[in-house]
Amino acid sequence: MAAEPIPQILRLNDDCLDEIFDRLQDLPTEVSLARTCQRLRHICLAKWRTSRAYEQLDLDKWRELLPNYEDLVYFLTQIRPHIKEMCVSSCLCALLKDLDEMHIAELPLVASFYYDPEDVDCYPSNRSIRKLAQLLPGLRKLRLTTPIDGRYLSHFQHLQELHLYEDQHKAYELQQEYLDEVCHKLHDLRVLDIRTYDMISKLQLGNCVQSLKNLSVLKLNLATLKPILPAVLQLPSLRQLVVLLDNEWHISPLVSPDSYDHKIREVCEFYEIMERKAKNIVGFAVDGYYMPLEPGWDEKLSIWTHRRLKRLAICSWTHSADYLERYSCMADLQLLCLRNWNHLSDDILVRFVELCPRLEHLDVSYCRDLTPKFLPRALSVLKRREPYKQKTGFGRSPPLLLYYDLSGFEDFVDKANLKSSPEYRGYIVFTADFPVGSERGLSFVDRGYQFEFDCPLNL
Amino acid sequence: MSTTPPESKMPIFVNLQTNDGVVHTVDIRLAHQLGETICGIMRMEEGCYSFDIIPLPRINGEIMAFIIKWCTLVQDLEDNVMTRSKEIFLNLLKKDMAQPHFLLQLLKASDYLGMENFTAVGAKLLAEAINTCRNSEEICYRFNVDRD
């Protein structure tokens, strides 16, 4: 169109203006439109919000989209009240300084902050943590895996989740006094992850476990758990406990270092949880590489009386698969993870598919002994159970998610393109990923164990 | 309300009356291209088409004539529909020597009629006009917007 004036554009209704906005070429043009008048600013802001493209603050990306600094500041000022997440990989101190210069004092709706710096030397200072708490007054979820001593963490008054763990070396862990502060002052805390990867954790929860009444997920080192295990098991809302075996441990001076087996880990707490919480246990996971329990270790557990297991993950096991068969009595099983079993056979696996009708996730990654023959057998069981699943109009249970990375039938699945096979549609979905909530790699839970409880108070 | 016999081979027409009293008689097939508002009224008669007049109080005769002309030219397009629809739209504007505000009226009318394709073309043209502006001041000048 020729560049002649087009008067009365504001006579168009909002629907028409929305249609025009949808066809603007880029964000700078949208910002120019927003800066004209209040009505067009409302139109633009509504579109930015409903597109959800700017719910996560990404200053580096927005700098590229808006090279003009004034446009960037204007846009940030407009979208500020609607930003909901921050995921930061650059230096936190520098980011806070930039926001300060733009007069962005508060991001009231940000509920989630994830800090994963690319530069390993960029540790946030205590001052930055304090400023962050002022910037994000409504923060619910904080993941901060760089070394911090923990000062000012308790300033995040509405925090519900605190994740401090990463499976890498850390120069130091939280200071005890600040951990105590977090536990005493953050009354909404539901998830606490204070694991330390590569040393014996010196953190203690003895002074503050009584304050953790709302805690539903606790992830900690065995050294921290040991003195307070009974109190932890009595936490009224606890539904998941993840224990990381410490990387170092005390060896009694009387033990001969030549005969000491470094792979024997401390297991009495594991058994104690199994016994004390037997009627509440609905899931457990063990890393068999770091906890190589003897065959028959589970023969006399109290969980057999209750049979409530819904989620089971026993990984990197070297036992005969016959020992696994006893778990097929758990008819409510929804997730079965058997990564990296040396001797897992098709027959045992088919038995689980037959006897556990609610099975939704079957993870056999790294199980090299499985064969492609398992697949039609499993499919046949599922089809006998629900013959009309592929027809429209019939009520359907979810398909079985089969995690098959580096398993014995991985090549077959890929070559036969079973992911798109109409024969398996609705019954089995093949995925080379790992179940949500599990670690990636050879074990569902890394270097330790995990329990899930049916918590009566958990809403 | 009169009805036409279903087996009749006579062409079926619909009468559309705009707010200036002008009646536009269009073939039923074309009428179906004129958006959800008109289709909805025709459906109300349960497939029994009639020669009664469908009123369109928010559109004037000039706008309706343009829309009918455009629909006639694009209804049989199969390839590059969006691009060619836009070209036809622009050619018609030039041919009619339409003033810029005419485009806004067309857009309002197509929104009222529920003509998605027509709205898309009109909105695209206006968006392209905005895209040529370098900053807010130019947008305000071009579209006669009072800055606040």
The answer to whether A79 touches A99, Cβ cutoff 8 Å, is no
Is the predicted pLDDT of residue A260 greater than 80, yes or no?
A: no
Choice among A108-117, A279-288, B45-54 with the minimum mean pLDDT = B45-54
d(CA A381, CA A344): 19
Residue B19 resides in a domain: yes
The answer to whether A79 touches A31, Cβ cutoff 8 Å, is no
Is the predicted pLDDT of residue B114 greater than 60, yes or no?
A: yes
The tokens describing A371, both together, are 């064969």
- What is the pLDDT of chain A when averaged over all its residues? 91
Choice among A116-130, A192-206, B18-32 with the minimum mean pLDDT = A116-130
DSSP symbols for chain B: -----TT--S--EEEEEETTS-EEEEEHHHHTTS-HHHHHHHHHTTT---SPEEEETT--HHHHHHHHHHHHHHTT--SSHHHHHHHHHHHHHHHTT--HHHHHHHHHHHHHHT-HHHHHHHHHHHHHHHHT--SHHHHHHHHTPPP-
Residue scoring higher pLDDT (A105 or B48): A105
Choice among A205-219, A307-321, B35-49, B86-100 with the minimum mean pLDDT = B35-49
Report CB contact under 8 Å: A37, B147: yes
Q: Which chain A residues are closer than 8 Å to B129 by Cβ?
A: 1, 3, 6
Closest of B28, B61, B103 to residue A7, by C-alpha: B103
Q: Which chain A residues are closer than 8 Å to B102 by Cβ?
A: none
φ, ψ for residue A240, nearest 5 deg? -145, 130
Residue B66 resides in a domain: yes
B105 vs chain A: nearest CA distance in angstroms?
Answer: 8
Report CB contact under 8 Å: A22, B147: no
Give the mean pLDDT of A427-439: 93
Alpha carbon distances (Å) from B135 to A27, A32, A48, A158, B138: 12, 5, 19, 42, 6
pLDDT in tens, A10-52: 889 999 999 999 999 999 999 999 999 999 999 999 999 998 8
How many Cβ contacts (< 8 angstroms) between chains A and B? 99
The tokens describing A22, both together, are 């949808």
Q: Which chain B residues are closer than 8 Å to A22 by Cβ?
A: 123, 127
pLDDT for position A378: 97
d(CA A135, CA A156): 10
Residue B74 resides in a domain: yes
Residue B106 resides in a domain: yes
pLDDT in tens, B20-76: 999 999 888 888 888 888 888 877 665 565 557 888 999 999 999 999 999 998 888
Listed as own residue / partner, the contacts of B100-104 with beta carbons closer than 8 Å and 24 or more positions apart are B100/A1, B100/A4, B100/A5, B100/A6, B100/A7, B101/A6, B101/A7, B101/A8, B102/B63, B103/A1, B103/A6, B104/A6, B104/A8, B104/A9, B104/A11, B104/A12
Q: Which chain A residues are closer than 8 Å to B141 by Cβ?
A: 5
Residue B8 resides in a domain: no
Is the predicted pLDDT of residue A256 greater than 80, yes or no?
A: no
Q: What percent of chain A has pLDDT over 70?
A: 93
pLDDT for position B5: 47
d(CA A11, CA B58): 14
User: How many domains, chain B?
Assistant: 1
Angle at A445 between CA A342 and CA A258, to 5 degrees: 65
d(CA A72, CA A424): 50
pLDDT for position A259: 62
pLDDT in tens, A394-425: 667 899 999 999 999 999 999 999 999 999 99
Is the predicted pLDDT of residue A459 greater than 60, yes or no?
A: no
Is the predicted pLDDT of residue A354 greater than 70, yes or no?
A: yes
Considering the entire predicted model, what is its pTM? 0.84
Closest of A284, A304, A301 to residue A452, by C-alpha: A284
The answer to whether A307 touches A329, Cβ cutoff 8 Å, is yes
pLDDT in tens, A435-451: 998 999 999 999 999 99
B38 vs chain A: nearest CA distance in angstroms?
Answer: 19
Per the listing, tokens 């070559």 go with A415
Using the Cα atoms of residue A439, residue A440, residue A441 and residue A442 in order, give the sign of their dihedral. positive
The tokens describing A45, both together, are 């802001």
Q: If pLDDT is split at 50, 70 and 90, which confidence band does A246 have?
A: confident
The answer to whether A111 touches A78, Cβ cutoff 8 Å, is no
pLDDT for position B1: 39
| Full domain range(s) for residue B118 | 13-142
Q: If pLDDT is split at 50, 70 and 90, which confidence band does A453 have?
A: very high
Give the mean pLDDT of A75-93: 93
B104 vs chain A: nearest CA distance in angstroms?
Answer: 7
pLDDT for position B80: 78
| Optimal mutation site among A19, A41, A44, A71, interface B, most CBs of chain B within 10 A | A19
Q: Is A6 helix (H, G, I), strand (E, B) or coil?
A: coil
The tokens describing A199, both together, are 């040393």
DSSP symbols for A366-433: T-TT--TTHHHHHHHHHHHH-TTTTSTTS--PPPEEEE-TTSTTHHHHHHTTGGG-TTTTTTEEEESS
Q: Is A227 helix (H, G, I), strand (E, B) or coil?
A: helix
The answer to whether A196 touches A164, Cβ cutoff 8 Å, is no
- Domains present along chain A, CATH in parentheses: 84-246 (3.80.10.10), 264-459 (3.80.10.10)
Is the predicted pLDDT of residue A139 greater than 90, yes or no?
A: yes
The answer to whether A245 touches A293, Cβ cutoff 8 Å, is no
Is the predicted pLDDT of residue A1 greater than 50, yes or no?
A: no
Residue B1 resides in a domain: no
Give the β-pairing of A448-453 and A240-244.
antiparallel
Closest of A417, A407, A327, A419 to residue A366, by C-alpha: A407
Residue B61 resides in a domain: yes
The answer to whether A171 touches A147, Cβ cutoff 8 Å, is yes
Find the closest chain B residue to A17 by CA distance: B123
CA A129 to chain centre: 23
The answer to whether A154 touches A183, Cβ cutoff 8 Å, is no
Q: Which chain B residues are closer than 8 Å to A5 by Cβ?
A: 100, 141-144
Residue B5 resides in a domain: no
Give the mean pLDDT of A341-366: 94
Residue B74 belongs to domain with CATH number: 3.30.710.10
With an 8 Å Cβ cutoff, is B30 touching chain A?
A: no
d(CA A297, CA A301): 8
- What is the pLDDT of chain B when averaged over all its residues? 83
pLDDT for position A316: 92
Supply the DSSP symbol for A123: P
The answer to whether A66 touches A28, Cβ cutoff 8 Å, is yes
